[in-house]
Structures are given as structure tokens and as C-alpha cells.
Chain A
Amino acid sequence: MAETILKARHITKLFPGMKALDDVDFDLQEGEVHILVGENGAGKSTLAKVILGAYKAEEGEVTFDNEVVKFNGTKEALAKGIVAVYQEFTLVPHISVAQNIFLNREYRTKLGLIDHKRMEREAQRLMESLNCEYIDVKSHVKTLSVAEQQMVEIAKALSFKPRVMVFDEPTATLSEREVDSLFAQIHRLKKEGIGIVYVSHRMQEFPLIGDRITILRDGVKIKTVDIDACSNEELVNMMVGRDVSQVYVRTQNEHTGTALRTQNLCDYKGKVKNVSISVRRGEIVGIAGLVGAGRTETAELLYGIEPVKSGDVFINEKNVLPKCPQNAVKLGIGLVSEDRKLQGLALDESIALNTVAVSLKKVFPNFFISNKKINEIALDYKKRLRIATTSVNKACKYLSGGNQQKVVLAKWLSFNPDILIFDEPTRGIDVAAKMEIYGLMDRLASEGKAIIMISSELPEVIGMSDRIYIMHEGEIVDEIRRGSEEFNSESIGARMMLGTGGTEDAEK
């Protein structure tokens, strides 16, 4: 029986307006890959950050090597050998691989100058231990591929002589082949007795690398199970926590006339290739795909954020071209953008000002505004969307994620566009707020709005959409209707991953 390196007991972590972790237990053995799984906002990254010392838990304790530790920041955790391999790369692009690995702790010569030779030698040794000697440690990081950068990231982590490594969604940006080589590395690290915490929501990966799996939901630990002792369905049920049909409400309503249609849409970056989609009034159309499949890019083309290279957009069968967001808005297109903090809201400004951000000119066509009217509108939406706040004059930064998202929705509802694109509308918000947003989308569709929904959460796309386009590396590879035999997570998930459409399968 392997030794337990790390034990976390009764961990509770509070964020403004929500309990991110509630009395969670977790432990990790030597040479084990322990997967943390859960929906977005379930608390898996938060737990990882508590282990790494990035967050301080309000309650509970972490034991490392049978010794209670209280980390004050990641540096202290690092000193004990607990390192992270982050999802977003933390490498500096304009300096060499070796300099990156030893950033801020460079070897020095006797004169106190940086000892490049020694650093390069050590870096070379690390890369060799990862079977990556083909990566030149003198080359700049920006010249490396994403997978190579990930290897450098791992090499950097190894240079700390870790006992525990935390991988946060490491495969999100990797191609299949790159994933294979990453997994080979993880297996090797395992054999050396390193304990690995693996945060992910890609279920198909779990049997390939995992030993045990801990399911979190809404900040609560549901269960820890052996990887072989649990089927995918059981996992999903534990993650979602209820019969999926209860969460999603989709009333059957009539679809009338095509509101928006695109033909062979392409962008300049090569992220969107010949995309032809359509959405009718009263219809919710989902776009499923992996991160980087070109879904957000398609939305941004339609909303005029990025320029269209070729192809056509038709609104109500009229050929138009949204050149900029003002243009798109005039054409009746709204975008609930992916990143509400960066793109959705002016966080320092009041709920009221954010609510009227798009509709300002519509509400006050005569240039002069009335603060009273703005407040009335904001209060109306606060009531309708049940935004939990004491005052609409409060800055948005003080709201919880779910309530912030509701303000973004209020911003669009007050403008009332005919076509609404929802890009990851429920990312990082709690289940109650999610359900309200689903209800709202359903109501909007029933009122005759045309809705496009982009989401990485398959259950959500399947639960809400009348029709689903599957996108893979910039192309639409398939289209599946509700009611068809393939309208399920297995078929859609497989196509998202592999990029093969039903029709192509038939040809084979």
C-alpha cells in the first residue's frame, strides 16, 4: 500500500456571495493520479489552489507528510515540493527555455552574474528526463509549439523536485497526439512516486490515466471512487446531481422563418472555415465543440468584432455584413459574450449603467438622459431576473458570478434584439442561477427570438437546443436535430473530439 502524501480535511473556502468549497476532504497517495472532476464552478480548481497554497481556506487543514501545513502563498508550497502545471501557460515568450525554467532562481557564477552554461546544462538534463531532448533549451519559448511549451512547463515543475504535481486542465489546448505524449509523461512521473492531482472534465481521459476520482458538485464533495468502479453515466449523474431533464426546460414552440443564415463564412485567422449555419425565429440552436473549435470566433464574426474574410450573412434573408458591434446591434444581433468580467461588464460601474449600456441610445434618442429612468429600467430587470442586490447603484464587481451574468442578460434584454448569441452563458455560476438562465432562454425562444447557444457543457447544449451544430477545427462537421437518434452526449461528444460527421461515417 502506497503512502499517503497529502491529506486535506474539512476544507471550506468562501468567496464573496458563494461557498466555493464546503467541508471537502481529499487525499493523495504516492504514485497516484487522483482526478478531480465536476461541472464548471463545482470547486475543483479552487480545491487545487488551496492545495497549492494560492488560496487560504477559511476552515479545515492540509496535512503533508503527516504534518499539518499552513501555506502562505504558493512559494511555501513550492518549497515543500507541491507544484502546479497551469492550464494557461506561465512561460515568458521572449526568453529561452532554460531561462524560463530557472526564472527568478537563476544559477549564479562566483561574480554574481547569471550562469547561463549551468542553467542550460540543467535544463537539458530535465528535457532529457522527459524524452524531449529535441527541444533546444536555448531557443525562445515563443518558437515552440503548444505541446512543446507544455513540456517546458512540466520540466520547470520538475526542476522544483516535486512530490505532488497539480495539473489543471492540461489537455485543453493539446491535439490528440500531444495528449498521448503528455499521458506517457504522467505515467512516468507516477512511477517515480510523485502524487498527481489531475483537474479535468474530459471523461474519456479518465480511464487512460486515473487511479481514483473525486467528484465535486457546487463546492461539496460527492464521492471518491476507484476509476474502474464507476461508469460514465454514474459519473455524470454525480456531477450534475439530478436527473438532467429537470434542469433544462425547453417548451415546444413554433419555429417561424429563418432569422439568421450564414453561407461559407470564413475569418482571416483561419479559425472559422466555411461555416454555414442558420437559426429560425423561436429556435434555440446549439454549437457544440471543444475549446478552440472556432465557436466563439464564429459568434464574433456575426457580431462584428472580427472582420469577415469571405462568405455571406443573411438576416431575414437580406444579405448584410455586420462590420462592427454597432452595426450588428442595428441589425438586431446581440452577443452575451464569453467572458463577462472582461467583455460583458464595466465592473466598476453601477448595475444601472451596465443595464442600459447597449440600449442607451434607444431609451434616450434625444441625447439627454434621465438617471431616474435608468434606475427604473434597472430596477425592473433586477426584479424580473431576480438579481440579488440591495441597490442598482452598486458596482457590478460586488455581485456574485451568477448575478453578474444576470446583469449582462439585463443589458441585452433591455435592448431586445431579435437574434441573441449566448457564448458560454452559464460558465462559473451556480446551479440555481443556471436554471434561471435556461428558463429565460426558453422564454425568449417562445417569444420568437432566434437563439444561438455556444457551450462546452454538453448536457447543457443537449438540454436546451432544438438543433445542434458540431464544430471541429473551424468547420461545421455535423448537424443533429432534437429527436434524432444521435441527439445524445455519446454521439455528439465523439464528433466533437474526432471531427467526423454522421454523413462522412455513412460514406465510409
Chain B
Amino acid sequence: MKAKRLFGEIKSSKVFYSLVGLIVLIIISAVIAPNFRTVDNLITIFRQASILLVLSAGLTAVLLTGGMDLSVGATAGFVGCICARMMKEGVPILAAFAIGILIGMIVGIVNGFLAGILPSFIATYGTNWVLGGLAIIVMQGAVIYDLPKNFTQIGVGHTGPVSNLIIIAVIVVVVIYILLQRTTYGRQVYAYGSNPVAAKYSAVPMKRIMVSSFMMCSMCAGLAGMLITARLNAADAAMGDSYGLQTVAAVVIGGTSMLGGEGGVVGTVIGSLILTIIVNVMNLKGISSFAQGMVVGIVIIAMVLFDTYTKRKQERSAV
């Protein structure tokens, strides 16, 4: 009985179709690529997904308010670079790490305030360029490598049998899940995204919600930037670029509506896994990396089309 209700709940939620997509993808992958089924490969997938997870979990909050943050890639790159630079200049690892998070927070505050004035996707598209430019200035056109071992351990090391990256990703996802689903803040994020006007009339602190969701997003991006640096044992101004739109894709594939108010972190986890598995399987099958972008694009369009279609059908049957 309880299982049936749970199933009903899952089925009616937006996560359902993403979940079905993930399962179908796993089955297909397992059939066409025998080496997909190994434990090693599964661990690889989770490790590969972890940075995307950190980024996209943060972005989920912004999308839920109906906003958009196109600057996560550049934020990650910028913070990673500045952090690497600081460590090279002799700043202690912990301090560099804290400053990195702080910079993320500041970027988020700026984005949040701008988003109160401009459409957020334009505002963050602008900050994306600004941060990208800043990263190049910080790096002075060069690449930094050979970072302190204690720092790179975060990216490549293990705690017990589990990769540090996975542990960090899980912690971030759980914290954001709790924030969004189990706190007054989270309910207000949903209320805001679902109908901003009604939220205003319901005395929801609009600015605070918006700024804090952008802040959360950019802090995650900052953290992700440092994780990328730690994993690469190097920093390069452009290292975050490829993550920017991938992050948006992961959240959207996970069923979070770009119009706000619908979706959540669980979907985002699924979306991140879907993206990572696609790339993983294509690598296993030796499909050129040139084709990967195209496939990801098709998947995004297919998922959103499917989502729109089922939603329309649902609404028709309900009326």
C-alpha cells in the first residue's frame, strides 16, 4: 500500500520521466557496451559526475526561482585560477579554499542583485564574460601547475575506498536537498518561482530569496572550480568554460522547469548522471569526442520536448 502510494507520488512528480530516461539509458548502455557493466566503470561514472553534480545542484536553486545563471562555468574557472595563484604565492591551502568560497559568494551577490534589475540570463551572461576576462588577467595568459599535494589530494585522493570528489558531491547534494525541501527558505524558493507576484503578495522576502539562491549557486561553482583545479593539478583560465552550459543541461534534463517553481535536486542528480553516462558510453564505444556535443544537444531537446508533451497531456486530462 505504502509502496503503491510512493510509486504514485514518484510518477506524478517531474522526476519520473528523467528517472525513466536514466534507467533506459543504463539498460541500453549495458547492452551495447559490455565494459560499461564493470564496477570500476560505475565508480568512474560517479567520479566523473561529481563536479557536474556540485555545479548543477547549486544551479537548481536559481532555476527554481525562475532565474538563470549562465556564469557558473566562468565562476568555477575564475575561482579555481585565483585559488591556484594564491597557493603558488604561498597562501595556506585552507585560507585559499575559504577565500575561493568567499569569492563565489560575492559573485552570487552581484549576480543576484543584477538579476533583480535585468533578466537574469542576460545579467549572468555578462558576468560570465567579466569573470572569464578576470581569470585571464589573474593567470596572465599562462597555466599554473604543480600545486601543493595536500590540495590535489582533494581531487584525486580517496577517503577509505571512496573518492573524495564523490564524498564532497554527496555532501553538497544532501545539504542543498535539505535546504530546498525541508526548510522555510526552500518553500519560499518554490513559492517565488511558481508565481513571483503571488509570492510578493504573500510577503515572501523576494530580494533575499533571489540573492541567496544566486549566492548558493555561485558558491557551489566556486567549490567546483577548486575541485577541477585539484583534480587537474593545474589551473587554466578556460577550464570552467565547458561546464557552463553542461550544468544548465543537467538541471533541465533532470526535469527542473526553466520557468521556475517545478523540479528539484533529485532530478538534477539524475540529469547529471544521464549526461555523464552518455559521454562515458561514447568514450567506451570509441565515438569521437567531436560528436559528443551533438548527442548531448539532441538529448536535451528530446527530454524537454517529452516533458512539455506529457505536461500538456496531463493538464488536458485533469480538466
Contact with A along B170-211 (1 / 0, CB 8 A): 000000000000111111101100110111111111000000
User: What string of 1s and 0s marks CB contacts (under 8 Å) between A305-320 and chain B?
Assistant: 1000000000000000
Whether the pair B202, A353 counts as a contact (CB closer than 8 A) is no
Q: Decide yes or no whether B318 CB sits under 8 A from chain A.
A: yes
**Is the C-beta of A368 less than 8 angstroms from some C-beta in chain B?**
yes
The segment out of A71-79, A282-290, A338-346 that lies at the interface is: A338-346
Can you list 10 pairs linking A and B with CB atoms under 8 Å apart? A303-B201, A335-B201, A342-B195, A342-B197, A346-B195, A348-B195, A348-B261, A349-B191, A357-B199, A369-B183
Report A-chain residues with C-beta under 8 Å of the C-beta of B194. 346-349
Alpha-carbon distance A473/B240, docked complex (angstroms) = 58
Q: Mark A371-410, 1 if CB is under 8 A from B, else 0.
A: 0000000000000000000000000001000000000000
- Contact status A369-B187, CB under 8 Å: yes
A344 to B199, alpha carbons, bound, how many Å?
8
Q: How far is the CB of B142 from chain A (nearest CB, A)?
A: 45
Residues of B within 8 A of A358 (CB): 202-203
A326 CA / B197 CA spacing, docked (Å): 14
The 10 A-B residue pairs with the shortest CB-CB distance, nearest first, are A346-B194, A325-B203, A329-B203, A357-B202, A346-B195, A343-B201, A326-B203, A360-B184, A349-B194, A358-B202
Residues of A within 8 A of B3 (CB): none
Cβ-based interface call for B319 (8 A): yes
Asked if B69 is an interface residue, CB under 8 A from chain A, the answer is: no
Tell whether A367 pairs with B201 under 8 Å between CB atoms, given A346-B191, A353-B191, A357-B191. no
Q: Is the CB of A357 within 8 A of B183?
A: no
Give the docked Cα–Cα distance between A326 and B205 (Å). Answer: 7
Cβ of A369: which chain B residues have Cβ within 8 Å of it?
Answer: 182-184, 186-187
Inter-chain contacts of B262 with A (CB < 8 A): 348
CA distance in complex: A432, B262 (Å): 34
- Please tell me if the beta carbons of B205 and A305 are within 8 angstroms of each other in the complex: no
Closest partner residue, chain A, to B186 (CB atom): A369
Q: List chain A positions with a Cβ less than 8 A from chain B.
A: 16, 303, 305, 324-326, 328-329, 335, 337, 342-349, 353, 356-358, 360-361, 364, 367-369, 398, 411
A367–B178 Cα gap in the complex (Å)? 11
Q: Which of A343, A348, A367 contacts B185 (CB 8 A)?
A: A367
* A337 B201 Cβ-Cβ under 8 A: yes
CB distance from A134 to the nearest CB of B (A): 39
Task: Return the CB mask of B234-267 against A: 1 if under 8 Å, else 0.
Answer: 0000000000000000000000000001100000
A141 to chain B minimum Cβ distance, whole angstroms, is 26
Chain A residue contacts of B204, Cβ below 8 A: 326, 357
Query: Closest residue to A348 on the B side, CB-wise?
Result: B194
- Bound-complex Cα distance A348 to B262 (A): 8
Q: Is the CB of B199 within 8 A of A360?
A: no
Given A16-B319, A328-B203, A353-B191, decide whether A345 and B198 contact each other with a Cβ distance below 8 A: yes
Closest B residue, CB atoms, query A349: B194
Residue of B nearest to A334 (CB): B203
Which residue numbers of B lie inside 8 Å of A, CB to CB? 182-188, 190-191, 194-195, 197-205, 261-262, 318-319
**From residue A345, how far is it (CB to closest CB) to chain B in Å?**
6
B183 A368 Cβ-Cβ under 8 A: yes
Query: What CA separation (Å) do A328 and B262 show in the bound complex?
Result: 29
Closest CB-CB distance, A420 to chain B, in whole Å?
13
CA A249 to CA B200, docked complex, whole Å: 32
Per the bound structure, the CA–CA distance linking A357 and B202 in Å amounts to: 6
Given contacts A305-B201, A346-B198, A367-B185, 7 further A-B contacts (CB under 8 A): A325-B201, A349-B261, A353-B190, A368-B183, A369-B183, A369-B186, A369-B187
In the bound assembly, the distance between CA atoms of A16 and B185 in angstroms comes to 33
Closest B residue to A336 using CB positions? B201
Question: Shortest beta-carbon distance, B257 to chain A, in Å?
Answer: 9
Determine if B261 and A346 form an interchain contact, defined as CB atoms under 8 angstroms apart.
Answer: yes
Contacts of A356 on B, CB cut-off 8 Å? 187
In whole angstroms, what is the CA distance A137 to B211 when docked? 47
Q: Which residue of A lies closest to B257 (CB)?
A: A348
CB distance from A404 to the nearest CB of B (A): 11
A367 CA / B185 CA spacing, docked (Å): 7
Cβ B195 vs Cβ A345 within 8 A: yes
Asked whether, in the complex, the Cβ of B187 is within 8 Å of the Cβ of A344, the reply is: no
**Chain A residues near B187 (CB-CB < 8 A):** 353, 356, 360, 369
A336 to B182, CA, bound (A): 27
Contact call B184/A346, Cβ cutoff below 8 A: no
Q: Is the CB of B202 within 8 A of A367?
A: no
Chain A hits for B261, CB < 8 A: 346, 348-349
Take A305-B200, A342-B197, A345-B198 as given contacts and tell me if A368 and B182 are in contact as well, using a CB distance cutoff of 8 Å.
yes
B16 → A minimal CB distance (Å): 16
> Once the chains are docked, how many angstroms separate the CA of A357 from the CA of B209?
14
User: Which chain A residues border B191 with CB–CB below 8 Å?
Assistant: 346, 349, 353, 357
Which chain B residue shows the least CB distance to A347? B195
Q: A residues within 8 A CB of B182?
A: 368-369
Residue of B nearest to A16 (CB): B319
Contacts of B201 in A (CB 8 A): 303, 305, 325, 335, 337, 343-344
**Bound Cα distance from A329 to B203, whole angstroms:** 7
A325-B195 contact given A353-B187, A364-B184, CB 8 Å threshold: no
| Nearest CB of B to A499, in Å | 29
Nearest residue in A to B12 (C-beta to C-beta)? A393
Which residues of chain A come closer than 8 Å to B195, judged between CB atoms?
342, 345-349
Q: Which residue of B lies closest to A326 (CB)?
A: B203
- Nearest-CB residue, chain B, relative to A360: B184
Task: State in angstroms the CA–CA spacing of A360 and B202 once bound together.
Answer: 10
**Are A367 and B184 also in contact (CB < 8 A) when A16-B319, A346-B191, A357-B204 are?**
yes
Complex Cα gap A415–B267 (Å): 32
B residues less than 8 Å from A347 (CB atoms): 194-195
Q: Which residues of B contact A367 (CB under 8 A)?
A: 183-185
Specify which chain B residues have a CB less than 8 angstroms from the CB of A325 in the assembled complex: 200-203
User: Considering the chains assembled together, what is the distance between the CA atoms of A398 and B317 in angstroms?
Assistant: 11
**How far, in Å, is A180 (CB) from chain B's closest CB?**
37
* 8 Å CB contact of B197 from A303, A324, A343, A364: A343
CA distance A329 to B188 in the complex (A): 16
**Distance between Cα atoms of A57 and B230 in the complex (Å):** 66
- Docked complex Cα distance between A367 and B197 (Å): 23
Docked Cα-Cα span, A358 to B200, in Å, equals 10
Least CB distance from B280 to A in Å reads 35
A353 to B204, CA, bound (A): 13
CB closest chain-A residue, reference B195 = A346
* Contact with B202, one of A364, A368, A411 (Cβ below 8 angstroms): A411
**Smallest beta-carbon distance A328→chain B, Å:** 7
A356 to B184, CA, bound (A): 10
Q: What is the distance, in angstroms, from B84's C-beta to the closest C-beta of chain A? A: 36
Please indicate the chain A residues that have their CB under 8 angstroms from the CB of B188 in the complex: 360
Chain B residues near A329: list those with CB within 8 A.
203
What residues of chain B lie closer than 8 Å to A361, measured between beta carbons? 184
